[in-house]
Amino acid sequence: MGYSDDVDHCSDEELIIRIQRRDDKAFEQLYNRYASRVLGLIRRAIFDANESEDVLQIVFMSIWQKCHQYERERGSVQAFIFQIAKTRMIDYMRSHRHRDDVLVDMEEEDRQPDPIELDQVSHVVVDDLLKALSADERRALELTVYGGFTQQEIAKLLHKPPGTVKSWIRRGLIKLKRIVSETANEGGEGEKWHI
């Protein structure tokens, strides 16, 4: 095909173009870049390690099959990957629900914007910030920001009332805003992440 075997320095967009032409090495590189982050997102909603790995494989099979649907104008490759992951997670939750009809047709609900560009954010700083939150606040914010889930979807995934999820997100955002504000006022040293 005229492709170099060196895919290490390709951008995500270059990789997806090569994957559209069925380049296995490009697909492997994209998997290596995103598998751990996608698995982290999946594990926040599906707690079983084996089932999470299964969903991860389904996500990447979907990326291989749907790579031609990627359109640069609609967002980044990363957003494309996380949207597929979100859809596959919802499919999994629907097919494995506990016979209580908790999940409704999520596609008809309002959507949040695509996931933020994680590469533009320091993961270390974000992880430190999130450690200052309660486990519930952290999980709700991660599913909102990284997964792009709505509050209603998070409530259904976690089997919690929507008001509870809304409170977790609100409290978490207030805490994060306060921490960032205090850090900025103290010279931005990055050490003052405690509440």
- Quick one: pLDDT at residue 178? 81
- Position 189 scores a pLDDT of 44
Q: What pLDDT is stored for residue 152 in this prediction?
A: 86
Quick check: 125 and 92 in contact, CB under 8 A? no
Sequence-separated (6 or more) residues with CB below 8 Å from residue 116:
145, 146
DSSP secondary structure of 12-75? HHHHHHHHHTT-HHHHHHHHHHHHHHHHHHHHHH---HHHHHHHHHHHHHHHHHHGGG--GGG-
3-state secondary structure of 149: coil
Looking from the CA of 59 toward its CB, the CA atoms found within 13 Å total: 30
Q: What is the pLDDT along the chain (195 residues), one digit of tens a residue?
A: 445 568 889 999 999 999 999 999 999 999 999 999 999 888 877 878 888 999 999 999 999 999 999 998 888 999 899 889 888 887 887 776 543 343 333 443 444 444 443 333 344 456 667 778 888 888 888 787 767 788 888 888 778 898 999 999 889 888 888 877 776 666 544 444 333
Tell me how far apart the alpha carbons of residues 7 and 33 are, in angstroms, rounded to a whole number.
11
pTM for this one?
A: 0.54
Half-sphere CA count of 131, side-chain side, radius 13 A: 10
| pLDDT number for residue 16 | 95
